[in-house]
Amino acid sequence: MAYTVGMYLAERLAQIGLKHHFAVAGDYNLVLLDQLLLNKDMEQIYCCNELNCGFSAEGYARARGVAAAVVTFSVGAISAMNAIGGAYAENLPVILISGAPNSNDHGSGHVLHHTIGTTDYGYQLEMVRHLTCAAESIVSAENAPAKIDHVIRTALRERKPAYLEIACNVAGAECVRPGPVSSLLPETPSDLTSLQAALDASLAWLAPRDRVVLLVGSKLRAADAQAVSVELADRMGCAVTIMAAAKGFFPEDHPCYRGLYWGEVSSPGAQELVESADGIICLAPVFNDYSTVGWNAWPKGDNVLLAEPDRVTVAGRSYEGIALRDFIKGMTARAPSKPATAEGTTAPRLELAQAKGHAPLTNDEMTRQIQALLTKNTTLTAETGDSWFNATRMNLPGGARVELEMQWGHIGWSVPSAFGNAMGSQDRRHILMVGDGSFQLTAQEVAQMIRYELPVIIFLVNNRGYVIEIAIHDGPYNYIKNWDYAGLIAAFNAGEGHGLGLHAKTGDELQDAIEKAVANKRGPTLIECSIARDDCTSELVNWGKRVAATNSRRPAAD
Ligand code: TPU
């Protein structure tokens, strides 16, 4: 059988480890989808819409390191771009593949459907360039292999999304077969001169300091530096704190772990520890308005060593071209070895008292019960809103993972992302915490969890509104139409699925619902947890006040 452009792409995607790709059909991508289906190492997974398709792939990339989403031109791809922006912000290599006009129509002056009605079909490529690290349009089979390989290689190297569009008549055109994949998976070597200089400077900076803290940031996973950072902590024996978006990126059962640093909404003791340290080693942090609590918790100055994915800044100098892993390994080899945590504090533990079983359900009781479900095999996806604060205050067993989207912060992200993550790591228990407001954006993707029989346990927090926005700035726009969320599941099952929808208004009802959810292995269980609107974490309220103050700064005078 002749090999085609679509088959080339499919083989490359399978070679880089994809067992699935996500898709929504449209006439510009139908031939491409047929070609992808011919590859038996990969399954095609369908989504309800292209935004969800992009976020499903984003979640899959969280589980497996890379993912692909296939959509149709403009009406599909422009919706997917929002999720691609999210993948860029969150450092996830998602390859967006769009069907495109027939190669004969480019430059022909023809007006085509699904376009903005002009005759230049380059606008989609121009738009997506801003959201990807590589973007290519394929209008001939001859240069398809080079363009496909360039896009995949760049996405994997940069840990960012990339884009391919394939003219609908070229997807099935004859093409060569791919060779071995090794050239697409380059190890980026550090510049050794720069690395040695950075290590010398860092060790000199470290020598006089005796209250050093490691601060773990959210780019650590993309930098493939999680395991080596544990070895560094073992060696240095110093306290380790994490940033909120890096929840789960350092094992909380490690003897050096000292909790979450998030300015005044830190876990107990962590703010004092970090702010009184004489050395803060920041590993792959993202300091933005949210993570610094409105620019109030931003470690800076001579006491800070900033180790980013490709550069180190210490003692007034910046050293470029250094892979974070190599820097951390070098520090582990050369830093003085000390016993774990001489500073005498212990890791904070969230201990919530069990509420009376018949009492109305509270946020704390819900959090207590969800925390009790976590094991080393759990992936907990937590949506924007108080779910952020509930997830980040929980104690995690070693091995448990938390997924947050704190840089992009698109409400509704979590439902398709948890779907994609569950598809990509079916050996793990998947738990999703999502507020009612967020759920309303992407609710229909629960139907795909039913279709593919993924036993995701969804805690739908029904507090009748956008409580995080109420904390930041209140107004009539923060109050939403109530839905029968648990009741949706019967509609999605449509008599042929195993989804379960349950209500919990008390602690006892929640306990009972969780037992049913754990027993339901052939589909998702959505537990609608009703709590009072003003029942939220104090962290949300305090953080919200700070962010509101930052947002409402007056314009600077000329
Ligand atoms: O816990 P809670 O009640 O705050 O969660 P819920 O109900 O999911 O409310 C989230 C409210 C919210 C909004 C409306 N959080 N951020 N936003 C702003 C926003 C609007 N549109 C998108 C796509 N993303 C956003 N973050």
Q: pLDDT tens digits for 234-277? A: 999 999 999 999 999 999 999 999 999 999 999 999 999 999 99
Closest ligand 1 atom, CA of 411?
24
d(CA 138, CA 9): 12
Mean of all residue pLDDT scores within the chain: 96
Q: How far are the Cα atoms of 62, 91, 445 from residue 430, in angstroms, in the given order? A: 13, 21, 15
Shortest CA distance to 258 belongs to which of 238, 276, 230?
A: 238
Say which residue the tokens 């029942």 belong to. Answer: 535
Q: Distance from the CA of 438 to the center of ligand 1, in angstroms?
A: 5
Alpha carbon of 71 to those of 21, 22, 25, 52, 96: distances in Å? Answer: 11, 9, 6, 11, 8
Residue with tokens 């792939």: 57
The ligand 1 site (C-beta within 6 Å) comprises 383-387, 409-411, 435-438, 461, 463, 465-469
pLDDT of residue 446: 98
User: What is the structure's pLDDT at 347?
Assistant: 84
Report pLDDT digits (tens) over 158-184: 999 999 999 999 999 999 999 999 988
Residue 558 clears pLDDT 60, i.e. is over it: no
Q: Where are the alpha helices (DSSP H) in 402-506?
A: 414-424, 436-442, 446-451, 467-472, 485-493
Candidates 55, 362, 466: which one to mutate for ligand 1, based on the most atoms within 8 Å of Cβ?
Answer: 466
Rounded Cα distance, 491 and 458, in Å: 16
Question: What does the pLDDT look like over 300-346, one tens digit per residue?
Answer: 999 999 999 999 999 999 999 999 999 999 999 999 999 887 566 78
Residue 437 Cα to ligand 1 midpoint, Å, equals: 6
Protein residue with its CA nearest to atom 20 in ligand 1: 411
CA-nearest residue, atom 11 of ligand 1: 466
Q: Given strand 429-435, what is the order of strands in its sheet?
A: 401-403, 378-382, 429-435, 457-462, 525-530, 500-504
pLDDT of residue 343: 67
Segment 5-29 mean pLDDT: 98
- The minimum-distance atom of ligand 1 relative to the CA of 410 is 24
| Ligand 1 atom showing the smallest separation from residue 466 Cα | 9
C-alpha span between 125 and 135 (Å, rounded) = 7
SS3 string of 222-282?
A: CCCCHHHHHHHHHHHCCEEEECHHHCCCCCCCCCCEEEECECECCCCCHHHHHHCCCEEEE
Please identify which residue in the block is written with the tokens 């790709």: 21
Q: Range with the lowest mean pLDDT among 113-127, 141-155, 329-343, 367-381?
A: 329-343
State the Cα–Cα distance between residues 309 and 91, nearest whole angstrom: 11
221 touches 227 (CB < 8 A): no
Specify the ligand 1 atom closest to the Cα of 434: 8
